[in-house]
Structure 1
Amino acid sequence: MRLPVLVFDIETLTDLKSGAHLYGLDLPEGDLEQALTKLRRQESGSDFQRLPLHEIVCISGLWVDEKAEMKLFSFSREHNSEAEILQKFFSIFQKRNPTLVSWNGSQFDLPVILFRAMYHGLSAPSLFDQGEIDSQKRYNNYQNRYHHRHIDLMDIMAMFNGRNFQKLDDIAHLLGYPGKRGPASYLIPEYVRNQQWLEMTSYCEGDVLNTWLVYLRFLLLKGQILPEDHRLWIQATIHYLQGQPQQKEFLQVWQTTSKQTDFTASDFETIQPPDIQY
């Protein structure tokens, strides 16, 4: 495993102001969202909005450093504008060049971040440089799907074939991890509308944690970590989350779902403080 690692995920809403500008609509806010949804259905047959119209309301991440220390964090609209959320995220790359890990990050998260950064007139060469500034990034940058600086697990595990794409929720649950908790519907608009910031960040962080756990299993598959290393990383993750009150439910669900596969059945039997040496 190439450390440090940053596993990340974003949550978004439809940017009604930009949508109204793009389509030349002059409607009350309540009608505007319905109109944009109808237009999108006519364009694509889907409610899923164009990427540039996804306004970022939260970016969550799990940072794992060279000492195997973990830090789960979220930048959200509770305290920051969209531009400030992006600036905080970009500042990570100004200081370090982590291995970036995502689920569908190459087709959704990073393109949305790119469009929204341009919308706000932000600069992020540490993330988007492809060798024009740092010549080494010509051969290993965050945009190229076949490079290893950004590992989009959905893309890689599908062997870069869109017909094989799977949902993070399904794969995590299949492997003995929590997947989504609670209702199946997408609750981010409701969380923002009701200012339920803790629920929103916990939701986003849950996707980050599921991605991290799938990533560990993928590294084991590839032989990049040994079975004993995998066990220690799982123990370290559980130990860390025991000190994170907002992820109490994630741990409880994980303890239940881990019993569903032989490989994960012993994950919670003996939790010891981690002793990972690198």
Structure 2
Amino acid sequence: MPDKIHLENILFLDIETVPEKSSFDQLDETTKELWAHKSQYQRKNDTTAEEFYERAGIWAEFGKIICISVGYFTFQKEMRSFRITTFHGEEATLLQEFKEVLDEHFNHTKHVLCAHNGKEFDFPYIARRMIIHGISLPHKLDLFGKKPWEVPHIDTMELWKFGDYKHYTSLKLMAHVLGIPSPKEDIDGSMVRVVYYEENNLERIVTYCELDVLTTAQVYLRLRNQNLLTDQEVKNIVYE
């Protein structure tokens, strides 16, 4: 376990994504064909590309990020606190704002990013969407030429695998088995598209994303065998 990393040098994060368009029929013909080809191995024989499009948010080529929540620890006179910030709105704008935070506040060698399943999803997804929008990659997401041990990323799911690369464990399951109090989420990942496009309720998604950041930080504390945030510390979280 990376217990030598100071907690205040870790930026915990989570993203929420949706299909880039609200419906399949809004795509141009080329994109429809490319989507059909991309998804053909995931679709069941009786599922059309149009029906499967509701899952397009999983792929950075066909989806978009609607919010990025980040959290970090601060320590003052041995008092621990946790702060959370969310970037949301137009994708290009929120990506630029997130990049500025990395460039200005988390740009030293000592700084690392942490997410659950981040190496398979969050980190590459953000990087791909930045490239699509013509945004230069911040140092923490530019992995070109880096050796595995030089990559400044922590993945709580990877830590839980202990070398078992076939094993997938959701954040919710990890929190449960590690005895972490479950946040009162009123949606799950499968509902994000509907809440965004049909209910037009981004605020509800932001709350869900922020709770996942908190849970990721709590899981990481447990993996380091450190005290969880207390109920009072959770109540005192600063939302910026």
Q: Same fold (TM over 0.5)?
A: yes
- In 2, Cα distance between equivalents of 1:71 and 1:22: 44
Residue 184 of structure 1 and its aligned partner are, at CA, apart by 5.1
1:190 aligns with 2:190: no
- In 2, Cα distance between equivalents of 1:24 and 1:130: 28
More helix, by proportion: 1
RMSD, aligned CA: 3.1
Instruction: Flag the 1:217–1:160 CA change in 2: closer, same or farther, 3 A.
Output: same
Partner AA of 1:188 in structure 2 = V
Residue 147 of structure 1 and its aligned partner are, at CA, apart by 4.5
Residue 216 of structure 1 and its aligned partner are, at CA, apart by 0.1
Contact 2:18 2:63 in 1 (8 A): yes
In structure 2, the partner of 1:113 is 126
In structure 1, the partner of 2:101 is 92
1:62 aligns with 2:71: yes
Contact 2:84 2:238 in 1 (8 A): no
The one of the two structures with greater contact order (alpha-carbon pairs below 8 A, sep at least 6) is: 2
Q: With structure 1 as the length reference, what TM-score do the two structures score?
A: 0.65
In structure 2, the partner of 1:135 is none
Contact 1:54 1:112 in 2 (8 A): no
How many residues align structurally? 211
Sequence identity (%): 24
Which aligned pairs between 1:126-145 and structure 2 lie closer than 5 A? 126-130=139-143, 138=146, 144=148
1:207 pairs with one of 203, 212, 215: 212
In structure 1, the partner of 2:229 is 234
Partner AA of 2:101 in structure 1 = I
Instruction: Flag the 1:180–1:130 CA change in 2: closer, same or farther, 3 A.
Output: same
Residue 159 of structure 1 and its aligned partner are, at CA, apart by 2.5
In structure 2, the partner of 1:159 is 162
Q: Deviations over 1:241-268 (max 9, x none)?
A: 314599xxxxxxxxxxxxxxxxxxxxxx
In structure 2, the partner of 1:261 is none
- In 2, Cα distance between equivalents of 1:63 and 1:89: 14
Structure 1 unaligned runs (5+)?
27-34, 133-137, 221-229, 247-278
- In 1, Cα distance between equivalents of 2:220 and 2:64: 27
Instruction: Flag the 1:121–1:160 CA change in 2: closer, same or farther, 3 A.
Output: farther
Partner AA of 2:84 in structure 1 = L
Larger-gyration structure (1/2): 1
More strand, by proportion: 2
Q: Deviations over 1:31-85 (max 9, x none)?
A: xxxx95x6655233375543322200010111223544421111112xxx10111
Partner AA of 2:129 in structure 1 = R
In structure 1, the partner of 2:49 is none
Contact 1:5 1:65 in 2 (8 A): no
Contact 1:62 1:71 in 2 (8 A): yes
- In 2, Cα distance between equivalents of 1:21 and 1:204: 31
Q: With structure 2 as the length reference, what TM-score do the two structures score?
A: 0.75
- In 2, Cα distance between equivalents of 1:57 and 1:242: 26
Contact 2:10 2:114 in 1 (8 A): yes
1:43 aligns with 2:19: no
Q: Provide the secondary structure at the position in 1 that maps to 2:113.
A: strand
